Amino acid sequence: MPKINFYLKSEQTNKKGQCPVFAQIVLKGKKIRKQIGIVKKSDWNKSKQLLTLPKDNHPDYKQYATFNKGIGQLKTAMIELENKVRDERRKITENDLRLLINLETPKERIERDFFEAFDEFLTVQKATMAANTVKGYKTVRNFLEKQFQTGTGFQLRFYELDTLFADHLMEYCFQTKGIDNDYFVKIVNVLNKFLKWAEDRNYHKGEIPKVLKGIREKEIDVIFLSLEELMILNNYPFNSDRLAHARDMFCFAAFTGFRHCDAHSLLPEHIQNEIIHKNQNKTQRETKIPLNKHAKAILEKYKDKPYALKQISNQKANDYIKECLKEIVSDEHFKEVQAFKRKVIIRKVSGRKVTERAIELYNAITFHMARKTFITNSLMLGANLQVLQEMGAPKRPKHLAKYVKITDAFKNKVMEDTWDKV
């Protein structure tokens, strides 16, 4: 078991002859320390690790006695911690010691159930966060409890969120489940946000292990419909109302840059003088998007409905849009069936393992491709980048880089097909 020690740092003596006193615990070679006071060098007893008390009538007696009492309380707390972890049949963690060394009262934090606190966190977030964001937080919470905790036997407690926890989490996510880095980063971000919230409420002290923050999202893959493919989908005569509604929702997003949540919640009242005035659900940024003729034609189909478009959940929209393309591909009488058979590369990064596979576009399509389709085709058609950003396109350079790369390749192809042939 690690022991707590107290020492004087004499090389930092001030003009009054006072030196800082530190409490220190060494755990697996790592020193955890904190300054607990400043005392006169001549009053420190190195062997006893205490102040030498003056006579009881000395004006500094009470102050010195209080200082020694604090050291005694830390020693007692260390013994109690050793007994506690022995009873719990576990090892002392770094977070245990940080709680102790920082002179915090660990009882409230240690006894606060991790998942009960997480449920409280979710309830609080509902007041300020979009419903889909809270839903995503809840999915992470359930993953940690019902999959990670159950699958590994590692009990999640506030005082055990150390590097050992990080090792277990990464091993389970990458080796057992093969989780994509993008989703792992989301898990870490949600967990980090929750822990900061918990610290503000005195449930927890300490940061998420740094090793978890070292995992990066993979470079964004931009898969989109070409302008020709988009118009084929937009004009195809589906017999099924279900598929026609899903197609309209997807194409409207591809003509405006809307995310699914924004298309799903669009009301007729959001449209004024053929311009959509709406706060984005995800970012709460106000956007003003002029309607082009294709978007207006779609809205005209639903003009007498409560919502501007048929409401379809995100999961069903993903399923239905795949069905749409598969129906077009299987239509032997439709000459453009080859359009959606082109193969695209789907890349997955799980830890350090990278896998790539080529699949047909009609199997790869998701609703999120509508937004990518809008941004990419707008740039190819010469739209101003700043204007696109004001309409909701990504503002961060790293998120835009992939789109710019694609449009640069398109421009090169145009040059080859025109001037290079002269």
pLDDT-derived band at 417 (thresholds 50, 70, 90) equals low
The tokens describing 221, both together, are: 């893959």
Distance CA 13, CA 21 (A): 11
Residues 181-195 have pLDDT tens digits of 889 999 999 999 999
Cα distance between residue 169 and residue 165, in whole Å: 6
Distance of CA 332 to the CA centre of its chain: 44
Cα–Cα nearest to 380, from 356, 404, 358, 397: 404
Indicate the helix (H) or strand (E) that contains 246: helix 241-256
Lowest mean pLDDT among 1-15, 107-121, 164-178, 301-315: 107-121
**Comparison of pLDDT for 359 and 222, the residue scoring more:** 359
Quick one: which of 347, 6, 360 has its CA closest to 181?
Answer: 347
The pLDDT confidence band at residue 158, using thresholds 50, 70 and 90, is: confident
| Phi-psi region at 184: left, alpha or beta (left = phi > 0; alpha = psi -120 to 50) | alpha
Q: How many CB atoms lie within 10 A of CB 118?
A: 23
List, for residues 59-77, the tens digit of each pLDDT value. 888 888 988 998 998 999 8
Q: State the pLDDT at residue 108.
A: 41
Whole-angstrom distance, CA of residue 51 vs CA of residue 65: 8
244's tokens: 């026609």
Query: pLDDT tier at 106 (50, 70, 90 boundaries)?
Result: very low
Q: Which residue matches tokens 């929750």?
A: 194
- Which is higher by pLDDT, 396 or 422? 396
Q: Which is more confidently placed, 151 or 1?
A: 151
- Predicted confidence (pLDDT) at residue 217 exceeds the cutoff of 80: no
SS3 104: coil
**157-171, 258-272, 408-422: range with lowest mean pLDDT:** 408-422
Q: Provide the pLDDT confidence category of residue 352 given band limits of 50, 70 and 90.
A: confident
Say how many residues make up the chain.
Answer: 422
Report whether 188 contacts 208 (CB < 8 A): yes
pLDDT for 338 beyond 80: no
- In contact, 135 and 264? CB cutoff 8 Å: no
**Average model confidence (pLDDT) across the chain:** 84
Phi/psi region, residue 263 (left: phi>0; alpha: psi -120 to 50; beta: rest), is alpha
Query: What is the pLDDT at residue 103?
Result: 43
d(CA 356, CA 349): 9
> CB of 299 within 8 A of CB of 291?
yes
pLDDT of residue 347: 79
Give the mean pLDDT of 150-179.
88
pTM of the model: 0.58
Run of H or E residues at 234:
helix 227-235
For 157, list phi and psi in degrees, rounded to 5: -135, 150
pLDDT band at 377 (very low <50, low <70, confident <90, very high): confident
pLDDT over 60 (residue 157): yes
Closest CA to 373 of 251, 212, 215: 251
Give mean pLDDT, residues 337-364. 83
Q: What angle do CA 188, 263, 322 make, to 5 degrees?
A: 80
pLDDT (0 to 100) of residue 233: 94
Chain-centre distance for alpha carbon 103 = 32
What is the pLDDT at residue 285?
Answer: 75
